[in-house]
A and B are shown apart, each in its own frame.
Chain A
Amino acid sequence: MLKITNLHASIEGTPILRGINLEVKPGEVHAIMGPNGSGKSTLASVLAGREEYEVTEGSVLFKGKDLLDLSPEDRAREGVFLAFQYPVEIPGVSSTNFLRTAVNQVREYRGQEPLDAVKFLSLMKEKMKLVEIDQKLLSRSLNEGFSGGEKKRNEIFQMAILEPTLSILDETDSGLDIDALKIVSNGVNELKSKDNATIVVTHYQRLLDYIVPDFVHVLYQGRIVKSGTKELALELEEKGYDWIKEEVAGTAV
């Protein structure tokens, strides 16, 4: 589904990603961990199409298409979804209008009929239950004045509405209390199928108790320096990143 080969990207001339290789197959869950500033969000942003980042080398194939060639909106329409680490507040844009526009533009791209107001409302209601999001929240401007946890929940709600094939969750668990974490994870798990895949970026093993990964990767200094199974996450939780940093320093010598 997703094949990243030797991906290099920089921002304002500073290289951040320095040769990422990663393959994700349908049905898989990949966790990406790594110290602060290692490039996790950068990778997520590059995949979603943020224009500030310049890809200097490498390729990304998504369902056989050159992902890097597509506009951000076309990536979303093809089925890529990024749950932002820091979702922006957009005053004056109503959550409902925003979502309906998104759904219908995605549907149009896929050659489907637009949803009318009634059908859209029932879709909203169904997905609201899934992530236990309050109707009141959605009658406000997009993310405006939402708490950190509400913003994260809203990201998963949007994901549920848009039904992507590849979801990238950038620290969706950070700052959530245990109940919210369960609800969010439950939502993600409900949406999982053999045809779609999930990449979760996280600092905390605790999320991985709920969303169980098939693979765990450690991103450090813009490269994936170690990959393993879910046991690797437990090891990182216990020992931190120093031993990995040392390993990297060792090989560099």
Chain B
Amino acid sequence: MTTSTKNAVSITDAFLEIGKNLPQSNWNSALRKEGISLLSAQGLPASKVEEYKFTPVAKKIQDTLSNLSHAPASSNVVAEKVDEHRIPGLDSHVVVFNNGSYDATLSAFDSSEVTVTSFGDMPTDSLEKTLGKIAPAGKDPFIALNQLAIESGVWIEIATGTALKKPVLILQFVEGSLQGQSVHQRSYIQIGKNAAATLIEKVVSLDDTPYFLNGVTEINVGENSQVAFYRLQDESKFAIEVNNTEVNVPRDATFSSAVISLQGLMIRNNLSINLLDSNSLGNMYGLYLLNGHSHVDNHTNVDHTKPHAESNELYKGILADHSRGVFNGKIFVRQDAQKTNAFQQNNNILLSEDAVINTKPQLEIWADDVKCSHGCTTGQLDEEALFYLRSRGISKESSRGMLLYAFAGEVLEKITNENFREYCVGLVQERLGSNHI
């Protein structure tokens, strides 16, 4: 079905229209109904909505896409493509998505460590008990939209007591086409007790056709487990993406996230970490290097509910040309959450007068015995440092690259998987022109 966005029909109505005409399955009908009713009631956020005032996704979709229908699986997602986009030197399990649908043939993993099951193959009652519980549709209109549009999805599970010997690489191939440009991807990641896992998600734009990727990932971490979840967004200049990642972190567990955003037209990352019990730890790291007209918005939220939990957050951005960055960091410390440690930092370098950053910490602290700190800085490249390097015979370009890399590197150092870190370092250095040695 083709829905034109050029006429007066609003974007919300266009999506609702698509949702109502999708085929139903047992497992998704309740989710879809809820999505439709929520979205009909509130609609996609207009520019007046506080949470989205700097990031008008709906308008961007309206201005950029010509067909909001679901993008069918692309015939370009083949074994060679998968190999091409693996992380160099990294032995990993691979889970492949083709325009949001799981591709079992191209995926390769050791099922004694990881299992991947399509929602359609799971017992309906167990899905009903879990999907949409960590990331409720009422929380964000794009979650509601994802539910409305949900056609497939996967359950990724790391069993209790399993320490993964190698990371799970999730490759999200996306390609918009005449048949459709929307991808509503959905995953649920279940990590058992006493487990350890690193997951790396890489979004790959297969070409420059615009698309709208609307992903929802719910992650349920088991007690006393350690999970690292990295996301690399190096997409086409015409990619529009919203993703909602919601994580439950129980007692004695650690969840560390790093989001590296290198390119896209407009990307909105909503990351929420729920620290559900004592001795839970949530780390949120992010790096955005923006040029052209790229727009990246990171909204993070950490919810401290019980005493003795900790969160650390460091987001850094370098913005050139006409790019725009948004950082909004919510720290919520509930009354019970005494002895909370929460740290947040956002630093930005603006390389152009036309680049814009909007940064806002939002602290809501209801407990009295907490250690909480936050700070944000926005500046230019340090001219004095630049002159110092040049005065030693280093070219202006290399000097700039060195200084920018020195700034950005602090985030990349937080990535504990060496191959993935080195891969990101390479991409970042190439972008900053500092790989001169």
Contact = CB atoms under 8 A, between A and B. Distances in A.
Interface of A: 48-52, 71-73, 75-77, 81-82, 84, 87-88, 90-93, 97-106, 109, 141, 158, 162
Contacts of B139: none
A90 B387 contact: no
Contacts of A97: 402, 437
Given A92-B410, A101-B437, A77 B403 contact: no
Contacts of A71: 390, 396
A116 to B, nearest CB: 11
Given A72-B387, A88-B384, A101 B406 contact: no
B392 interface: yes
Contact of B409 (A51, A52, A92, A109): A92
20 contacts: A49-B387, A49-B390, A72-B387, A72-B390, A73-B391, A73-B396, A76-B390, A76-B392, A81-B391, A88-B384, A92-B405, A93-B403, A100-B437, A101-B398, A102-B392, A103-B393, A104-B437, A105-B398, A158-B392, A162-B393
Contacts of B409: 92
Contact of A90 (B383, B406, B436): B406
Given A92-B405, A97-B437, A73 B384 contact: no
Contacts of B384: 88
Interface of B is mostly: helix
A95 B399 CA distance: 13
Interface of B: 382-385, 387-396, 398-399, 402-403, 405-407, 409-410, 436-437
A78 to B, nearest CB: 9
B433 to A, nearest CB: 12
Nearest to A74: B393
B394 A105 contact: yes
A76 B405 contact: no
Given A50-B387, A88-B385, A97-B437, A162 B392 contact: yes
Nearest to B390: A72
Nearest to A143: B388
Nearest to A158: B392
Given A73-B395, A105-B398, A98 B389 contact: yes
B393 A90 contact: no
